[in-house]
Structure 1
């Protein structure tokens, strides 16, 4: 019995309400709190990296999760939920996926689902789902404190307490701080996190969960290495501090060098989130669930990128020089969501779920400097969506029949101001600059999309099942994807939603 696998006890949330793995026709991996403790994972990133279903990549603006070949758009197709609330950025190019903004000690389990889950959650689940579920009950008052020291100056401190006042009121408080360096020279991570949870048992059948979390992460990220750099020293940062690599490897057309790459890519992320979850069991037939959340991410990013400019003269109008230009920008995301749903239980192990969700997403790019090309560059976007869905499961003897449908309406409203001003012309033209003046673009679009799901699940024994399943899910474009780069300019496009079957 101690070594057995009890499928009926391993509940998951693929339909928003708990069910057993055996009664769920999906390929799901669950990482339990016991496994997290036993393997001594240091953060959520390391925990998820242990899954064979996931690959985590990292660049100057943070981490992203790859599932099923999701590629460069994985921040838009692989969603990470914390108690049903997505933490993915609105701006998929410059936004940050703050995986380590969740304290490990507060996690009850992590559910990993490759493929879509578009009926329940809607837009952006074509690649997969990582559902992080935190604790919603406390048996007794307890606390924890820990310190971890590792190579490369890794220092991680965490502490927390769970306080059970009585059967009706409980509190959970967690704090952690990390200072570490990777195996790449000068690549550093500094982060701080605090979260506070209030658990209220209003009655035996009414529960309310209120949460607030704050997260701050500062990091320096090393550049990608060339083949020669990788062969010579794989731990180097890839920064051309003295300019020797660029000078020795540039073509005859651009033989000179100005400036050096004296810093790594840097980012400073600040994140605040408020959320609540209310559940009520009305009677044996009806259950009600209400989720709501507000989150704001602000990320200050500084990077350097090799480029060239023409510092020509009348006698030599094509005297190009390589140099490092700064990209200095602030990227802000705001997200608000509210999601009520009602579950009706009929017959044995059969139910019908009706749900609605409203999502408002805002993103803003504000560049102080963009590769010496813009005096002004700011982009403000708003994406608003309304979705309704219905999900049914009917159980007949050893067969389960599942059907789901969603319709979602999406509206976009984007304003972009840009003033192109760049050192790319010979000195006798406009004092060496090209100046196109202030330009304003507006993008307003609306669309609607559908998701479908059908499955048949056959329970051939107490612990075995076989199923077949079909789903069509969708991803609507991020607001910033409605423009393409054409040389040094941007042009508007008419991008359509992406569908996945």
Structure 2
């Protein structure tokens, strides 16, 4: 309704949300936001298995297919698992509509941005709902040479088997082609700040997603949901390819009883990915060297969790729960070096490093809540959560030419203490939150020389502390 162009613009305007570069950030995570803020699409994480890139690909979701965006600052480890010390952002796409609809729209904006959107949906029978959404867009950037084009398509099906059972299927596909230009020096800026400045970088990004759902109710109090899914993200640049594939399923049950609710579930995720880097170096006019690095990664996780909220009185309730996760890792790093003279191969060597590891993690939280008035409540929250390492973080390079070895990296753990108040003052919503988070064994990457090519190793920092205050008010002036 506000005319936002994309998801980033939504999040930039949302209170408490900031960006570190192109990565969404909550509660001051900074350069670690890609591993400590969990971004979900219909409950499936967009955070990539390879922690090297600092960007979470939120641009792969067009705004026209979004129903709502849930923003949960701070915590969420019991329900959402690893990587939530900063918070959780859950993007929910459109699932259905009360009445049949057909719409077509277009937007025109700065820098020659324009798009075309088409949406259709409705009940084809009493129990079957179908929908589709299609989008195409293109944009020129502020500087010459910048360009972004792409398209998106999705389907949706929701079938009511009976009064107590339903199934759904939601596939979607997105592709974008982006041309970016290098940074300018001071002299170039003064001459023409909009010039291209150098050779453009081409990036092709794709996302294929398949969501299934099955819901069954047992009476009025018990509901169970099964959510199998498949997601494939690929990012391709010159000499660089990255792939992230997720295959998993979430099983969740909910019991409503007179004084509260109880939630329990099991999450399974097989996350595979690879990074491929190929570059050439001219050694002299006669000789050249090319190096191909292939980094295969796999992280298999099994998690069980339970969370209960109990209303002891109308004024006091207590939420408490826990989660256990087992993560199993497999990593294979291969480096192929080829030396050529006058275009002919004179030597070729390959180094391979295979490692495997497993880690157990747990989380728990407890939140007492006091309703001191009809509209106001005061809560206290304590949460113990974790961030398990990415597979690429388990390997150190101990010199310019290796060796590559398995390190003894530990999972990060954090404890968050939070107090918050929410109320209506003269009919206007206000909230205030104070939080304090202590992180143990925070993961950082140290370079062993003047640059990353000289080697690196991942280490755990003993303790890190983040604290802050969040104030929010919302006024409806003309309602």
Question: 1:497 aligns to what?
Answer: 411
Over the aligned positions, Cα root-mean-square deviation in angstroms equals 2.6
Task: Please state how far the C-alpha of 1:217 moved relative to its aligned partner.
Answer: 1.0
1:222 Cα deviation (Å)?
Answer: 2.8
In the alignment, structure 2 segments of 5+ residues that lack a partner are: 283-288, 416-479
Change in 2 beyond 3 A, CA 1:371/1:448: farther
Question: Distance in 2 between the 1:73 and 1:95 partners?
Answer: 8
Instruction: Note closer, same or farther for the CA distance 1:448–1:67 as it changes in structure 2 (3 Å cut).
Output: same
Within the candidate set 285, 298, 320, 2:221 is matched to 285
C-alpha contact 1:89 1:95 (8 A) present in aligned 2: no
Selected match of 2:318 from 377, 401, 417: 401
Report the counterpart of residue 42 of structure 1 in structure 2.
5
Q: State the distance in 2 between where 1:271 and 1:97 align.
A: 12
**Aligned partners of 2:96 and 2:131 also within 8 Å:** no
Indicate yes or no: 2:410 matched with 1:410. Answer: no
**Would you say 1:89 and 2:43 are equivalent positions?**
no
How far apart are the structure 2 equivalents of 1:125 and 1:92? 15
Hey, what does 2:249 align to over in structure 1? 338
Structure 2 CA distance for aligned equivalents of residues 374 and 95 of structure 1: 26
Instruction: Decide whether the 8 Å contact of 2:20 with 2:31 is kept in 1.
Output: no
Range that drifts further, 159-168 or 49-58: 49-58
For residue 436 of structure 1, report the CA deviation from its aligned partner. Answer: 8.3
Tell me if structure 1 keeps the 8 A contact 2:31–2:54: no
Contact persistence 1:352–1:392 (CA under 8 A): yes
SS in 1 for 2:48: coil
1:166-204 Cα shifts (integer Å, max 9, x gaps):
331111101111110222332221111101111112222
- Cα distance in 2 between the residues matched to 1:224 and 1:363: 30
**The one of 57, 64, 82 aligned to 1:105:** 64
Indicate if the aligned counterparts of 2:365 and 2:383 stay in contact, CA closer than 8 A: yes
More strand by share: 2
Task: For residue 334 of structure 1, report the CA deviation from its aligned partner.
Answer: 0.7
Distance 1:50 1:216, change over 3 A: same
Quote the offset at 1:443 in angstroms: 1.5
1:187 and 2:150 matched:
no
C-alpha spacing 1:153/1:187, structure 2 compared with 1 (3 Å): same
Residue in 2 that maps onto 1:382? 298
- The DSSP-based 3-state class of the residue aligned with 2:10 is helix
2:460 equivalent in structure 1 = none
CA distance in 2 between partners of 1:232 and 1:451 (Å) = 56
- Measured in 1, the distance between the counterparts of 2:40 and 2:133 equals 19
**Structure 1 residue 288: Cα displacement:** 0.7
SS of equivalent to 2:64: helix
Matched, 1:265 2:201: yes
CA distance in structure 1 between the partners assigned to 2:73 and 2:189 by the alignment: 33
CA distance in 1, matches of 2:49, 2:400: 24
- Say if 1:496 and 1:233 are closer, same or farther in 2 by CA, change over 3 A: farther
Which one of 165, 168, 185 corresponds to residue 209 of structure 1? 168
- CA-CA distance at 1:235 after TM superposition: 4.0
Relative to structure 1, the CA distance from residue 332 to residue 228 in structure 2 (aligned partners, 3 Å threshold; closer, same or farther) is: same
Question: 131, 152, 157: which one pairs with 1:172?
Answer: 131
> In the alignment, is residue 294 of structure 1 matched against residue 230 of structure 2?
yes
- Give the Å deviation of 1:81: 1.2
Match among 476, 497, 500 for residue 388 of structure 2 = 476
1:60-83, CA deviations, whole angstroms, 9 ceiling, x for partnerless residues?
xxx421222222232222121122
2:254 and 2:311 map into 1 onto residues whose CA distance is 16
1:136 aligned counterpart, secondary structure = coil
Q: 1:25 corresponds to which residue?
A: none
2: distance between equivalents of 1:489 and 1:68?
A: 39
Deviation at 1:84, TM superposition (A): 1.1
1:369 aligns with 2:279: yes
Q: Which residue of 2 aligns with 1:9?
A: none
Aligned to 2:351: 439
Q: Secondary structure at the match of 1:100?
A: helix
Cα distance change, pair 283–481 in 1 and its aligned pair in 2 (3 A)? same
Indicate whether 1:347 and 2:258 are aligned: yes
Q: Cα distance 1:222–1:389, how it changes in 2: closer, same or farther (>3 A)? A: same
CA distance in 1, matches of 2:339, 2:317: 64
The structure 2 residue matched to 1:160, chosen from 99, 116, 119, is: 119
Question: How many residues are aligned here?
Answer: 405
TM-score by length of 1: 0.75
Q: Any conservation in 2 of the 1:95–1:333 contact (CA below 8 Å)? A: no
- Judge which range, 209-218 or 272-281, deviates more: 272-281
Rounded to whole Å, the distance in 1 between the matches of 2:95 and 2:85 is: 29
Residue 231 to residue 489, structure 1, CA distance change in 2 (3 Å): farther
2:58 and 2:231 mapped to 1: Cα distance? 14
Higher relative contact order (CA 8 A, sep 6+): 1
Residue in 2 aligned with 1:392?
Answer: 308
- TM-score, structure 2 length as denominator? 0.78
Query: Are 1:215 and 1:272, in contact at CA under 8 Å, matched by a contact in 2?
Result: yes
